[in-house]
Amino acid sequence: MKEKIRCAVLGLGRLGYWHAENLAAKVKGAKLASVVDPLAGQAEKVARELGVAAFSQFPEEVMADPAIDAVIIATPTSTHAEMIKLAATHGKHIFVEKPITSRLDLADELIEVIEKQGVHCMVGFMRRFDPAYAEAKRRIFAGDIGKPIYYKGISRDPGSPPPEFIRHSGGIFLDLSIHDYDIARFLLDAEVESVSAHGRILLHDFMQEFSDVDQAITYLTFDSGAAGDIEASRNASYGYDIRGEVVGTEGTLMIGSHKYHDVHILNAQGKTHSIVPAFPQRFRESYLLEMEHFIESLRKGQKPSVTQQDGRAALAIAIAARQSFEAGAAVSLHTPTKPEDSSVV
């Protein structure tokens, strides 16, 4: 096993900073060797905070640096393809935030270069590493609910990101539901065959400008005979609300709770516990767990459990959902083993 994986983090927004923090101090077997951000001064500031030796404004520098084994790409989605190609051609292993990219043809190009260069690529579907989802996978795999026949997902943000974020987000299916598309594939162990999507603006009228909605539902059918529905919402005024359910032939399995603190107060208003307010309180730990998996996989020379193919598969579903939403009709997917088929895009 390799002693240390020397990493560079590219993009020091919230997620990039978390990855940098984790690699600097918490992930065994990792060494954070460099941090990169195009914003003047940002990389230097983070490097100082985390005690990292090197920093840069230019991704090309770390890509060319033989002292770097792996890059963590947390830059805007629009730059993912370029970063991945650069990293792969320099022989760096890759961790890239979801979505892997925003076009299927690009995704296919990336898969080709990644596989040709023989590097490992992991896509940041961190929910798979959340203790509850991971336990769900184990229980389903153990046969505890029989054969899985239905996936039901709810992902509700406590409000909308700002208009500038929405403008570049790719829409609610690509930005938010993609987590459920990945988890549905993961938990059902099946591929999506057809997608129907609906949605409406319930509260955030500004989304009209971006042809986006703040409330959506996706109905999926799977090649295993299963089906599923996935709700996405920007309208949960009460907190951050992530729920999953897998119905099986011998039972059902529910994932998640809204509970923030294990404290209940009972008074004249009733019995109350506080609710997870936002994304960091719910999934911060998952970012550490996924990075531990990435580093451990590299140290053992193994493929990570979530790859570029998973990134492509979830992207294909999200694109089909968007198409279905616009067309008002179901869209069929072909399996990701035949990426030359263009029926989706």
Annotate each residue in 146-175 with x if it binds a second copy (CB under 8 A) or - if it does not, as one string: x--xx-x-----------------------
Burial of 131 (0-12, 13-18, 19+ CB in 10 A): exposed
Give whichever of 274 and 305 is closer to a second copy, judged by the CB atom: 274
Q: Considering the rule CB under 8 A, would residue 132 count as an interface residue with a second copy? A: yes
Token pair, residue 199, equals 């949605």
According to CB under 8 A, which residues from 234 to 273 bind a second copy?
Answer: 235-239, 241, 247-273
DSSP state of 102: S
Residues 6+ apart with CB under 8 A from 21: 50
Q: How far is the CB of 135 from a second copy (least distance, A)?
A: 4
Q: Considering the rule CB under 8 A, would residue 34 count as an interface residue with a second copy? A: no
CA 311 – CA 326 distance, rounded (Å): 23
The DSSP element (H or E) to which 89 belongs, if any, is: helix 77-89
Annotate each residue in 210-239 with x if it binds a second copy (CB under 8 A) or - if it does not, as one string: -----x-x-x-x---xxx-x-x-x-xxxxx
Give whichever of 91 and 146 is closer to a second copy, judged by the CB atom: 146
Q: Considering the rule CB under 8 A, would residue 330 count as an interface residue with a second copy? A: yes
Q: How far is the CB of 186 from a second copy (least distance, A)?
A: 14
Residues 6+ apart with CB under 8 A from 237: 158, 159
Q: How far is the CB of 320 from a second copy (least distance, A)?
A: 14
CA 219 – CA 221 distance, rounded (Å): 7
> 6, 53, 1: which is closest to 27 by C-alpha?
6
Q: How far is the CB of 236 from a second copy (least distance, A)?
A: 7
Give whichever of 38 and 159 is closer to a second copy, judged by the CB atom: 159
Give whichever of 162 and 328 is closer to a second copy, judged by the CB atom: 328
Give whichever of 286 and 307 is closer to a second copy, judged by the CB atom: 286
Residue in this structure with the two tokens 């703040």, named with its chain if needed: 214
> How many residues of this chain interact with a second copy, rule: CB under 8 A?
66
Q: Considering the rule CB under 8 A, would residue 326 count as an interface residue with a second copy? A: no
Q: How far is the CB of 38 from a second copy (least distance, A)?
A: 28
- Report the Cα–Cα distance between both ends of the chain, in Å, rounded: 42
Q: How far is the CB of 226 from a second copy (least distance, A)?
A: 7
Neighbours of 59 (CB within 10 A): 22
CA distances, 191 to each of 60, 186, 225 (Å): 37, 9, 10
DSSP state of 46: H
Q: Is the peptide bond before 158 cis (omega within 30 degrees of 0)?
A: no
Burial of 44 (0-12, 13-18, 19+ CB in 10 A): middle
According to CB under 8 A, which residues from 62 to 91 bind a second copy?
Answer: none
Applying CB under 8 A, among 101, 196, 307, 309 the residue interacting with a second copy is 196
Chain residues binding a second copy by CB under 8 A are 25-26, 131-132, 135-136, 139, 144-146, 149-150, 152, 196, 198, 200, 202-203, 215, 217, 219, 221, 225-227, 229, 231, 233, 235-239, 241, 247-275, 328-330
